[in-house]
Chain A
Amino acid sequence: MTLFFSSFRPTLFCSILLIVVSVSAVMPGPGGPEAGSELVIYSGRKESAIKPVVDLFERKTGAKAVLKIGKTSGLANEILQERQHPRADIFIATEAGVCEVLAREGALDSYAPARARSIPSEYKSSKGFWTGISGRARVILYNTGLVKNEEVPGSVLDLADPKWNGKIAIARTLERTTLSWLGALVHVLGEAKAKAYIDGLLRNGLKVLPDNSDVWRGVGSGEFALGLTNSPNYHLALKAGLPVGVVYPDQGPSGMGSLVNPNAVAIVKGARHLVLARRFVDFILSQEAQAILVRQAFETPLVSAMDAGEVRPLSSFKSLKLSQERLADLEERTIRLFPGF
C-alpha cells in the first residue's frame, strides 16, 4: 500500500529540489535579461545589419537594449502568442506585409516619427503602425558565365520563353518577398492573367526553392542561369566573389516597374518601454543609423537625401506604386491562387 510512497519519496524530493534549484539558478540567468530596464528588440533583420545600429543607439542614449534575432514571420507568430503579456518593445521586419498582418490583429501600436515624412506613402503604414526603414527591389539576378547582360529579358513577363526552360529559380512564398511579388502581379495583371503567367513559368521548369539565399547561391554557382530575387542579394553574391549580374525589370514606359519591399520598424502594443521604443524608432530613421543599415546590407534608402552608396537609389529606377494595405487585402487570394508555391 505504502510502497510507492516510501520508495519514491526521495526520488520525488530530488526532482522537486532539482526543479526548484534550477529555476532559481536560472532566474537571474547567466547571459539572460535583467528584465525591467532594457529595450527588447525582436529583429527579423540579420544580426550583422541590426547589431551595429543597436550598439550605436546604446552609446548615444545610454540605454540598454537586448536583441532577439529570428525569422520575421517566426517572431511575428511569437508576438501574436505573447499578446497577453507582451515581451517585445520593438519589432523589426524584413517585409512590411507581416507588419500589416500584426496591425490587423491589433498587436501593434501607432507612432508617426517626424523623419518618416519624406518616406513615400507606399513604404509606411497610413495609420502609423509601421514605418519603412529601407527597401529591397525585386530584380532578375543572372550568372554572367551562362548569360550575357543583353540576353537577360527586360521584363519578368518574358521569362516563360522556352530558352529558359529549367534555368530559373525563385524562393517559395515562405519568403514573404516572393508572396508580395505574386500579390503585386495579381494587382497589376488581374487574377486570371497572373495565374496564367505563373503557370507558364512552372510549365517552363521554374524551380521553387526554400529561400532566397538558395536562389542567389544557386545562380552564383551556375545551378541556375536566372533568379527572381531581391536587390541586396546581387551585392551579397558579388561580395562572395560569385559571377553575377543584375537587371531591374519592367523599366520601359509601359512597364510595371520593379516592386520595392520595405523593411519596417514597429512598436508592439503594450510595450513596456514605450518612451524608449519611440526614441529607437526616431533613431533608426536618423542619418547615422540609416547609413549603417544601407551600407551593411546593400539596401535602398527610403528617407530622402540619403547616400545610397553602391546600391541604386530609389530615384534611379521605376518602382511599382502599390500600398502594403492593398497587398494585405490581396494576400489570402494570392495564397489560394498559387497553392504549393
Chain B
Amino acid sequence: MRGGMAKGNMERAASGETFIFRRPTIGVLTPVAALGAVFIILLTASPLLNLFIAALAAGSRGLSSLLSGSVPTLLAKTLLLATLATLWALLLGVPPAWILTRTDLPGRRLFRVLGLLPLAIPPYIGALTYITLLGPVGPVNKAYQAMGGSGQLVNIYGLWGGVLVLGLFTYPYILLLAGSALESSNPAMEEAARAAGHGPMGIFVRVTLPLLRPSLLAGSLLVFLYALSDFAAVSFLRVTTFTTEIYHQLNTRFDQRGAAALSAVLVLLTLLVLVAQRKNLGRRSFVQRRSGAKPPTIYPLGHWKVPALICTYLVLGGSVFLPIALLLYQAGSAATIFQTLASGHRYLWNSLWTAAVAATAATVLALFVSYLIDRRKGPVGLLLTAATQLGYAIPGTVLGLSLILLYNTYVPWIYGTAAMVVLGYLLRYLPQAVQGSAAALSQVDPNLEEAARGLGRSSWQALREVTIPLIRPGMVAGWTLVFISSIKELAATLLLRPAGFDTLPVRIWIATIEVDFAVAASTSLILIATTALPLFLIRRLDSGISQLD
C-alpha cells in the first residue's frame, strides 16, 4: 500500500502536477483515519455524554439549583482565580524562559532543569507548604506578632493564597513551552530585526513575542484549565470554586445529578475558553522551525547579570527550594525516606508504570489528533479538538464517577483493574499532549512534507523523516507533561484504583489523613525525585537536539 502510494506520488510528480506549494487538501476521510477519529471521540466524549445526560436527568431540580444565586457568584470567583493565576504564571514563566534560552546567564542549564521542578511538586503539597509558612500560626505571622504587630500580616487562606500557589506550581508549563519555542524558532528573523536597528528589547517585543504567541497561548491555556479543575490545593487553601462546590454536592448531599449539572457548566466554560483560543490562533502565520540551521542568538547580560540571577533565584526559591526544604525538615532524616521507600516501593512502581503508559498512549493519540486537526479544516477537526480538550475540564472526581458507571456497566472486565487508572490519566491529560504537538505542528510549514513527497517519499516517510523530527521537541514536551501530571494525579485515582492498588499521591493523601507528616513528607520527596528524573533526562535530550551553545 505504501509502495503504491509512493508510486502514485511519483506518477503525480512525473505528470508535472504542481502541488508543492499548496496546502494539502483532503476531501474525504479515509476509513482508518475515520475509524481512529471515531475511536478517540468515543473514548473521550463518552464520560462527557454521560455527564450531560445525568445533568439533563436532574431536570427541574438541577435547573433550579443552576439558576439559584450561587452559580453566577461561583462562576465569577472561579474565573477570577483562574485568570489571576494565569497572569501570575505568565509573569513567573516568560522572563526566565527568555533569560535561560537567550542569555549567557551562568548556570542556565542547571536553572532550566530546576525551573521545571515545580511541575514535579503537586500543587496540594505546595499549598500545604505555604499554609505551614504563612498560615495564621506560621513563622511569618508569629514573627510579626512577636515584633508587636496585631492580627495577621498575611492571610494565606482565600483567593490570593490560591492565586499565589497555583501560579507558583504551574508557571513551568509556560517556561517549558515558551522555552522550547524560543530554542527552535528561526534566528534569521531576529537577525533581520537587529539589522533593521532594533535592540534586544525591541526584537523581543516585535519579533520574538509574536512568534511565541502559540506557545504562550498553549501554556496559558494549560494553567487556566488547571486552575479551573484543581481541587486539592484550592480546598486546602479554603477557596470556593466550582470543583469544591461539586465535591460538596456529591459528598454532603449525595446529589450526583446536581454535581453533574455544575460540572456541565464547568465544561461549557472550558469549551468557551477553547473556542476563544482557536479564534486567537486562527490568523496564524507559519514559521519554519530551525532544523540544523544556526543556533539562536545569545545575548551577553553584562551588568544585568546580577538582577537576572536574583530574579531566577526568587522564582526558584518560592517554587522549589522552599517546599523541598520544608519537606526535608518534616521528613526528619534520610533514614525515614529510605524506610518509606523500602516499605512502599510497589507504590512507586505503580505510579511509574501507570503514568508512563498513559503518557505514551497520549502522545501517540495526540500526534494523530493534532495532525488531523492541523491538516484538515472542518467539523471533524473541530469535533476532535473539542473531544480531546474537554477531559481536562471535568474535575477528577466527576470524571472518576462517570468512568465507574460507564466501564463497570459496559466493560466490567476492565473496571477493577489498574487500566482504569491509566484511562483516567489519559482522559484528563490528553489535552496536554495535543497542545504540545499541535503548537509544534502549527509552526511547521506543511509544504515541507509536500516537498518530501514530491521527492518520492511516501506520506509515512515524509511524516517520519520531515515532520516528526521537526515537532519532536513538542512531542517530547507533551509526553513529559502528561507523565508529570499523571504521576501527581489524585482525585480520579482515588476513585478508579482497584482495591489494594495505591499510587504515591494516594499514599501521601493517606499519610496526611493519618497526620503522619514524616511519612507524607518522605513520600512527597520520593514522588518529586521520581518526577524530576525524567525531567532531567528530557532536558538533556532537548539540548542534544538543539545544540545550544
| Residues in chain A within 8 A of chain B (CB atoms) | 1-12, 14-15, 18-19, 22-23, 25-27, 29-33, 35, 38, 40-42, 46-48, 66-71, 73-74, 76-78, 80-82, 84-85, 87-88, 101, 173-174, 176, 179, 209-210, 213, 218, 221-223, 236, 240, 335
B514 touches A46 (CB 8 A): yes
A77 CA / B256 CA spacing, docked (Å) = 8
B5 touches A31 (CB 8 A): no
A85 touches B409 (CB 8 A): yes
A10 CA / B1 CA spacing, docked (Å) = 12
A11 CA / B515 CA spacing, docked (Å) = 47
A-B contact pairs, 27 of them (CB 8 A): A4-B26, A4-B32, A4-B372, A5-B31, A6-B5, A7-B462, A11-B367, A12-B368, A18-B360, A22-B419, A23-B414, A25-B357, A29-B498, A31-B418, A32-B498, A33-B498, A33-B501, A41-B499, A46-B514, A67-B500, A68-B498, A68-B500, A70-B494, A77-B254, A213-B513, A223-B135, A223-B137
A73 touches B515 (CB 8 A): no
Write out, one digit per residue, whether chain B residues 479-504 have a CB within 8 A of any chain A CB (1) or not (0).
00000000000000011011111000
Nearest B-chain residue to A11, judged by Cβ: B368
> Smallest Cβ distance from A175 to chain B, in angstroms?
9
Q: From B36, B254, B414, give the contact of A80 (CB < 8 A).
A: B254
Q: From B1, B251, B349, B364, give the contact of A6 (CB < 8 A).
A: B1
B419 touches A5 (CB 8 A): no
B368 touches A29 (CB 8 A): no
A5 CA / B136 CA spacing, docked (Å) = 62
> Smallest Cβ distance from A105 to chain B, in angstroms?
8
B329: chain A residues at CB < 8 Å are none
A30: chain B residues at CB < 8 Å are 346, 349-350, 353
A5 touches B360 (CB 8 A): no
A35 CA / B1 CA spacing, docked (Å) = 44
Write out, one digit per residue, whether chain B residues 282-299 have a CB within 8 A of any chain A CB (1) or not (0).
000000000000000000
Residue B361 is within 8 A (CB to CB) of chain A in the complex: yes
Q: A5-B1, A8-B33, A335-B253 are in contact. List 11 more A-B contacts (CB 8 A).
A: A6-B2, A7-B463, A11-B364, A26-B419, A31-B500, A67-B499, A68-B500, A81-B404, A174-B252, A210-B235, A218-B136
Q: From A8, A47, A81, A223, give the contact of B510 (CB < 8 A).
A: A47
Q: From A26, A48, A81, A221, give the contact of B408 (CB < 8 A).
A: A81
In the complex, chain B residues 506-549 whose Cβ is within 8 Å of any chain A Cβ: 510, 513-516
Nearest B-chain residue to A9, judged by Cβ: B32
> Smallest Cβ distance from B138 to chain A, in angstroms?
9
Given known contacts A47-B514, A81-B401, A174-B252, A5 and B33 CB-to-CB distance under 8 angstroms: yes
| Residues in chain B within 8 A of chain A (CB atoms) | 1-2, 5, 8, 24, 26-33, 35-36, 135-137, 235-236, 238, 247-248, 250-254, 256, 346, 349-350, 353, 357, 360-361, 364-365, 367-368, 371-372, 397, 401, 404-405, 408-409, 412, 414-419, 422, 458-460, 462-463, 494-495, 497-501, 510, 513-516
Q: From A15, A23, A223, give the contact of B368 (CB < 8 A).
A: A15
Nearest B-chain residue to A240, judged by Cβ: B515
A25 CA / B236 CA spacing, docked (Å) = 36
> Smallest Cβ distance from A84 to chain B, in angstroms?
5
B499 touches A3 (CB 8 A): no
A38 CA / B416 CA spacing, docked (Å) = 13
> Smallest Cβ distance from A198 to chain B, in angstroms?
16
A216 CA / B180 CA spacing, docked (Å) = 47
A101 touches B254 (CB 8 A): yes
B514 touches A48 (CB 8 A): yes
A42 CA / B498 CA spacing, docked (Å) = 10
Which interface residue of B8, B31, B460, B498 has the most chain A CB atoms within 10 A? B498
> Smallest Cβ distance from B447 to chain A, in angstroms?
15
B361: chain A residues at CB < 8 Å are 15, 18-19, 22
A78 touches B401 (CB 8 A): yes
A18 touches B33 (CB 8 A): no
> Smallest Cβ distance from A320 to chain B, in angstroms?
21
Nearest B-chain residue to A4, judged by Cβ: B33
Q: From A2, A15, A47, give the contact of B364 (CB < 8 A).
A: A15
A15: chain B residues at CB < 8 Å are 36, 361, 364-365, 368
A33 CA / B256 CA spacing, docked (Å) = 28
A67 CA / B250 CA spacing, docked (Å) = 23
B357 touches A22 (CB 8 A): yes
A26 touches B401 (CB 8 A): no
A84: chain B residues at CB < 8 Å are 408-409
A3: chain B residues at CB < 8 Å are 5, 24, 26, 30, 459
Nearest B-chain residue to A237, judged by Cβ: B515
A73: chain B residues at CB < 8 Å are 250-252, 254
Nearest A-chain residue to B26, judged by Cβ: A3
B404: chain A residues at CB < 8 Å are 78, 81-82
A335 CA / B415 CA spacing, docked (Å) = 34
Which interface residue of A9, A32, A35, A176 has the most chain B CB atoms within 10 A? A32
